[in-house]
Structure formats: structure tokens, C-alpha cells
Structure 1
Amino acid sequence: MRIGTRLPTTGPDANRAGIVDRARELEAAGFDSLWVSDHVVQPETIQSRYPYSADGTTTWDPAIPQVEALVALAAVAAVTERVELGTAVLVVPQRQAVLLAKQLASIDAIAPGRVVLGAGAGWLAEEFQALGADFARRGAVLDETIDVLRDCWTGRPPARTGIAVDLPAGIVVAPAPAQSIPVLVGGMSGPAIRRAIARGDGWIAQTSCTAEGAAEVVRLAARLREEAEVAGRTAPLRIAARLSGGDAQAAALLLPVLAAAGVDDVVLDTPPAGDAARAIELLRDTLA
């Protein structure tokens, strides 16, 4: 199992010290991956239902600073050598597909083979409206965008006419990554599971850092495999779980259960305070 953590791209630590300097420290401590979350804008009062809380409400202040996800990832790519760099998750339907392909391939040029796209459909209707994106068709746009990304990463995408993207013939998108960037589809819903099977290289869950949260990941991971078998998918599916809340000690209690369920990556939602090397040692000891 690979162990990663989300970088503090939101809140008071969303600055050079909190993102860039901390990334160096976490890589040196032995973390396998570093991840960033994504919101471009948020309304002062959120009316949309938040899918990752029991009552559908959010608990954070929408006015807190949030560094743009791909800018943060590029900055971290330039100062690290080994760790994977991922989005957990990027709200893909809000972004122009060809430009997104170029941005991710450019980060991959700085950090070859280390970029992972966690791709979500999004939930915040007000954000879509502010960005001029189609909230009602976000699932279909996500499907199309994943296809367009993969086409663009070949360097010479074929012409297409789609929902949100019309590509003329003869377009060159360079640089192209040496290998296609892995796409992990995010979400805890049936459509997210089916999308991961049909279009993804894997699935990324988001749940609470609790026994109940881990049990939900275990249940959905089993469903993912069952539905993949029914669909005739033979390619392996990478499974990642982002654990919201809790600290390294709380996460350590859950790792054996998640590992037994075939989870490949665990992502702590908050970087460990203090000695990161000690935290990663604690986490790895539970898997020994």
C-alpha cells in the first residue's frame, strides 16, 4: 500500500512554506504521494448539497484562501524528485478539455511519470455557474473530457464533435507524456463506480477517517470489482482512499482493513503535524 497526504492548498498554510517547503519535507520523510484538492470559486453561502457529509452541509469558511490546484501541483513538481503528484479530486467538467490535457502533460514534463489525475464530476452548482460550465450535463462532459484527454496525450488527437469539445483535424498537442497519465475517477456514487470501470484507470474514494468510513470504502471496492467483472473489464483498477479528518494515529487503525480490501493508496486529508518521518513509520508499522 502506498501512503500519501493532501497538501494544505487551502487555509492559512496555502502559501510557499505550507505547500512547496512542506512538500520537500514530506517527500524526504518517505511519503509516496502528495495530493491537492480543487475549487476555483465558492459562494459566500453554499446552497448545493455536499455529498461527503451526513447532513449535506459544509463546515468550512468559503472565504479561506485556496491556491489553484494545477498551479500548486506544478510548483511541487519542480521541487520534488520521487513522489507521485495527484489531484484529489479535480472538478474536470469545469475545465476546457484540451487546455487541461496541455496543463497536465506540462506538469508531467517537469515530473515525468509522476502525475495522477483524480477526476470528479463536481457537486457545487454555484461554482459551475460562476465559471460558465454546464452543471446539469457534468457527468456527460466528464466522460467526454476523459476521452479527449487520452486522445490529446497521444500528441495528435483525432477530429471529433462532442458535447463540450469540437476538435478539428490536424491538431498537435505537445508535449505528450511518455505514457498516458493515470485517471482515477472520484466519487462514492453508482455513476462514479461505473465511470471508473468504463473510462478510468482506477477509483478514488473520499470518506471519513473512521471505522464507518473505512467500511464504506470496503463495500464500494467490492462493488467496483463485481461490476467490473460483469462488464468484462480485465485491466486492473487502482483503488485509492482519501481519509477526511483524523490524524496519522487514527488512520493507522484503518490501514490493515483497507489493505485487506485491496486498497492500493491511502491519502491523509491533513499532513501530519510535527515529525512526518515518525508519522509515516507509524503508518507503515501497521502494515508490517
Structure 2
Amino acid sequence: MGLPNQVRDVRPDAVPAWARASEEAGFSSLGSLGRIAYPGVMDTVALAAAAGATREIGLVSTLLPTPVWPPVLLAKEVAGIDAVSGGRLTLGLGLGGRADDFVVDGLGPRGTGKRLDQDIDTYRSVWRGEVPPGCENPAVPGGTPEVSLLFGGMAQASFDRVARVGRGYIGPSAAPALVAPAFDRARGAWRAAGREGTPYLVALAYFALGDEDRGRANVYDYYRPAGPDGARARAAEMSGGADAVRATIKAYEALGVDELMLHPTVDDLDEVARPADVVL
């Protein structure tokens, strides 16, 4: 179950309540969406709130736009969320596709792939307790574990990161038939790298079981930077109604994904109970 942290003008206090209801309903994980230049709640804040409001449910960022963050700061934030949750966090990383999210001076939207690879090395160094450049102390407590990493993206470098340092891959929010080749590429990169087993595959789907029109309008609004055609396509792919949600689940099961994240399109708390009745 996704958190409603990037529904436009979300009521921030809905986030911990949503997290508690999702755990009580029996969902496996809670997922955040990451964006800065939008009137929502920061994904790290949403995940921290969810960690404090729950005890067992998994926490996943799907996806966090990584290169918009100073890497030492993000590594410390993530380590703290994972620690206070009792080790329940999985970090889903992406490059960030919206130029207005890059609000930190010196961290612009160019060269993000190379920067992400460098940032991953920094995260792991911080989590090992090494002293960051310019600091006198480690940034995290001793014994801090590394956080599991998932990667999104469609460039070959994204699949190579999955195979090199990741636990798995998060597909884009699109129709299952359009996402299937990406999951195949993730599996192929994993095999080519000689990794044992298979990558953990996570799919994303927007849904609305109450006010479908408002849900589609909110999806369109969120993807407006992609242009009218792209925003309309994302809105049209939203699973509206119980039958559509069931069909989406069945389609992703056929693709062999390990987990499907149902992202809400409104912050109505009934949108936790309704899909629970449909799918659990």
C-alpha cells in the first residue's frame, strides 16, 4: 500500500493514520513517492512518520529522487529511519525526472547517473561508520547496518546498478504490458553479473476505489510536467474500481513480480479499507 504523501495538498496527519490502517489491514509494505517541488509531504518525512506509527510492516521508497540530495545528509536520514523502524526500510532510488526538484545549489539535473554511482559509494561509506570528508566524527552510530537498495529507471545503467549493488528493481508506473520488458532486463542483468537467485521485483500501480474522477485528476496533476499526453496516459492507466484493481493484480502476478505497490490517488482513509476488502 502506498502512502498518500504526494497527493496534492494532502493532509499531513493522514500519513501516520494511513500507515497504521495499512498495517492493521494486513498489507506487506508501505511505499512513499518522492518529489520536492509539489505540495505534498517529503518522502523521508512520510517514511519516518510511518515507522513511528507501525511495528512490523515494511517501508519502501518508490522512488526517492536521489541526486537532488547531498549524499551524506541522505545517508544519515535513511540510516535513522531504518534504525527507528527496527530495520524495516528498503531504499528505492531513482535519478529524478523533473528539473524543478533539483533545489540544492550545485546539485542540478545534469550528470545524475554518474552522481548516483558516486552517491551510492558515499552512502555505504557513511553506513560503515567512516568519517565523511570535512567532518570530525562518523555521521551514524556504530553498528549501523547497510540499507537494502532497489533501483528504478529504464537506462541500461539502472539495470547494471541492480545487478551490481542492488536487491532488486522497481518498475515504472505504467501498464503491465509496457513494464514487462523492464523486468526482463533486470533479470537479464542479474544473470549476466553472475548473481545467485533472482532480483526482487516491485511493480507500481495507481488506484481509486472511491472518487475515481478525482483520483484520475490527481494523477494527471502529478504527471503534468511530462506534458499533456504523458499525464493523460498515466491517468488513464489508473486502476479505477474493484474489477480494475483485481485485473491489475492478476496481470502483475503473471509477470512474476514479488510485490505490487498500490499507490493511492486521494487521501481518503477509506482507500485503505476498500482495497483490503478487494485483495486481501
Judged with a 3 Å threshold, the aligned counterparts in structure 2 of structure 1 residues 119 and 32 are, in CA distance, closer, same or farther, namely same
Letter in 2 for 1:279: P
Where do residues 143-154 of structure 1 align in structure 2 (5 Å cutoff)?
143-154=117-128
The match for 2:22 is: 26
The match for 1:44 is: none
Separation in structure 2 between the aligned mates of residue 261 and residue 122 of structure 1, nearest angstrom: 26
The match for 2:261 is: 267
Separation in structure 1 between the aligned mates of residue 276 and residue 6 of structure 2, nearest angstrom: 21
Q: Give the drift of 1:169.
A: 9.2
Separation in structure 2 between the aligned mates of residue 217 and residue 181 of structure 1, nearest angstrom: 26
Judged with a 3 Å threshold, the aligned counterparts in structure 2 of structure 1 residues 189 and 251 are, in CA distance, closer, same or farther, namely farther
Where do residues 35-184 of structure 1 align in structure 2 (5 Å cutoff)?
35-41=31-37, 65-128=39-102, 131-156=105-130, 167=133, 171-175=137-141, 179-184=145-150
Identity rate, percent: 29
The match for 1:160 is: none
Q: Give the drift of 1:281.
A: 4.3
Residues 115-143 of structure 1: CA distance to partner in whole angstroms, max 9, x if unpaired?
11110001112332665413211111111
Letter in 2 for 1:246: S
8 Å contact from structure 1 (residues 69, 87) kept in 2 = yes
Q: State the TM-score, normalizing by the size of structure 1.
A: 0.76
Separation in structure 2 between the aligned mates of residue 240 and residue 227 of structure 1, nearest angstrom: 16
Does residue 161 of structure 2 align to residue 195 of structure 1?
A: yes
Separation in structure 2 between the aligned mates of residue 88 and residue 275 of structure 1, nearest angstrom: 19
Judged with a 3 Å threshold, the aligned counterparts in structure 2 of structure 1 residues 200 and 23 are, in CA distance, closer, same or farther, namely same
Match among 210, 221, 225 for residue 187 of structure 2: 225
Separation in structure 1 between the aligned mates of residue 9 and residue 194 of structure 2, nearest angstrom: 47
Q: Give the drift of 1:247.
A: 4.1
Residues 91-115 of structure 1: CA distance to partner in whole angstroms, max 9, x if unpaired?
1111111111111111112101111
8 Å contact from structure 2 (residues 65, 93) kept in 1 = yes
The DSSP-based 3-state class of the residue aligned with 2:96 is: coil
When the two chains are superposed, the root-mean-square deviation of aligned CA atoms in Å is 2.5
Q: Which runs of 5+ in 1 are unaligned?
A: 42-61, 158-165
Judged with a 3 Å threshold, the aligned counterparts in structure 2 of structure 1 residues 8 and 97 are, in CA distance, closer, same or farther, namely closer
Separation in structure 1 between the aligned mates of residue 277 and residue 203 of structure 2, nearest angstrom: 19
Q: Give the drift of 1:5.
A: 2.2
Q: Which runs of 5+ in 2 are unaligned?
A: 207-237
Q: Give the drift of 1:148.
A: 1.5
Number of aligned residue pairs: 246
Q: State the TM-score, normalizing by the size of structure 2.
A: 0.78
